[in-house]
Amino acid sequence: MAGTIKNGSGLSDTGIGNVTRWTFGNSTSKCTVSSGLTLMSQGLNAIASINFVSFSNGVVSGNVSGIDITFSGSDLFGTCTFRITRSANFSYAGDPWNVTSP
């Protein structure tokens, strides 16, 4: 996942940043899940919005809204494509210039 967050003070918490790239496996190194299904994200269908909800004791909490990702996969039964659309909550404490996802 990669994106940008606005720099400065007095900014609105809503839409403070964007997720512009999301990868889950690639054509040479797909991710394998149960039953041998290998998956690869096809990319974001839309840019997701990062929203801050609170900041307390050095911890930022918020959500990423508008997640819209298409995946493709294959196993011995054939191929499939599916799409995930949702929002996700997060909390983060650490170096503000090096945010990474687990």
The domain locations on the chain are 2-90
pLDDT at 18 over 70: yes
pLDDT grade, residue 92 (50/70/90)?
Answer: confident
Is the model's pTM score more than 0.75? Answer: no
Please report the pLDDT score of residue 100 as a whole number: 47
Tens of pLDDT, residue by residue over 75-88, are 777 788 888 888 98
pLDDT at 43 over 80: no
Give the long-range contacts of residues 23-32, CB within 8 A, separation 24 or more.
24/69, 24/71, 30/73
